[in-house]
Chain A
Amino acid sequence: MPAEEMGKLTGRTRLIFAISSVVFLAVLAISPFKDFRREWKQYKRSYLRLAQTRPDTKKLLADYRRDIDQIWLPGMNVIDRCTTCHQGITQASLSDSAVPQPFRAHPPIPHNVRDWGCTVCHRGQGPATEVAEAHESTLAWEQPILPTRLIQASCGTCHYADLPQTPQLTKGRELLAELNCQGCHRLPGVERPAMLGPDLTNVGMKVSREWIYKWLKEPRTIVDKDGNVTVNGYETEEEPRMPKFRLTETELRGLSAYLSIQKAKSFVPYKIDAHLVAAWSKNPELASQGELRFRQMFCSTCHSLAVTRAGETKLIGGDIGPELTKVGSKVNTDWLVTWLRDPHGYLPHTKMPRYGWSDEDLYKVTQYITTKLTDSDLLTGVAQLGQPTEDEIQLGHRLFLEKGCASCHVIEGLNPQKDFGPDLSAIGGKNASELEFGAAKIPHNLVTYIQAKLQDPTSVNPAARMPQYNWNQADLDAITTALLSMKSAPPTSALQNLVVPRKEVAFRPTGAFAEVYERYKCYTCHKFNGYGGDLAPELTYEGSRAQRQWIVDFLKNPQTLRPTLVLRMPQFNMSDKDAATLADYMTMVLQHPAANPAAIDARQFTPAMAALGKQLYEVKYQCQSCHTIGGTGGYVGPNLNNAGGWLTPAWIEGWLRNPQDLVPDTIEPRRNFTEAEVNALTAYLMTLRQSIKPQKTATSAGSHAAAQGAGQ
Chain B
Amino acid sequence: MKFRFWISALLLITIAAISGCRKHAEAPKPDPLFSAYDTEPDWTDAQKIIPLSYQQSQGKRIFYQQCVWCHADATPAGPSNRSNLRPVPPLLNDGATLNTESDAFMQNIITLGGSALGKSAMMPPYGKMLSTEEIRSVIAFTRAVAQPPYQPPGRPASQYSAK
Contacts and interface: CB of A to CB of B under 8 A. Distances in A.
B20 interface: yes
A708 interface: no
A149 B36 contact: yes
B97 interface: no
A566 interface: yes
A109 to B, nearest CB: 8
B133 A108 contact: yes
A577 interface: no
Given A23-B9, A165-B61, A39 B125 contact: no
Interface string B82-97: 0011000000000000
Q: Counting chain A CB atoms within 10 Å of each CB, which of B53, B79, B129 scores highest? A: B129
Contacts of A505: none
B79 A149 contact: no
Nearest to B85: A625
Contact of A131 (B9, B27, B38): B27
Interface residues of A, number: 50
B81 interface: yes
B31 A147 contact: yes
B70 interface: yes
Contacts of A669: 66, 124-126, 128-129
Nearest to A152: B37
A277 interface: no
A107 B12 contact: no
B58 A165 contact: yes
B118 interface: no
Interface in A563-585: 564-566
Nearest to A27: B16
A72 interface: no
Contact of A636 (B20, B39, B69, B155): B69
Contacts of B123: 625
A622 B121 contact: yes
Interface in B23-56: 24-28, 31, 33-39, 53-55
A98 B16 CA distance: 41
Contacts of B27: 131-132
Interface in A12-33: 12, 16, 19-20, 23, 26-27, 30, 33
A343 B121 CA distance: 51
B22 A98 contact: no
A97 interface: yes
Interface in A346-364: none
Interface string A615-630: 0000111101110000
B6 to A, nearest CB: 10
A670 interface: yes
B117 interface: no
Given A131-B27, A564-B79, A149 B13 contact: no
A167 interface: yes
B102 interface: no
A108 B85 CA distance: 35
Nearest to A565: B77
12 contacts: A27-B16, A33-B20, A34-B19, A97-B53, A108-B55, A130-B25, A132-B26, A132-B27, A564-B77, A625-B85, A636-B69, A667-B69
Interface of B: 1, 5, 9, 12-13, 16, 19-20, 22, 24-28, 31, 33-39, 53-55, 58, 61, 65-66, 69-70, 77-79, 81, 84-85, 115, 120-126, 128-129, 133, 155, 159-160, 163
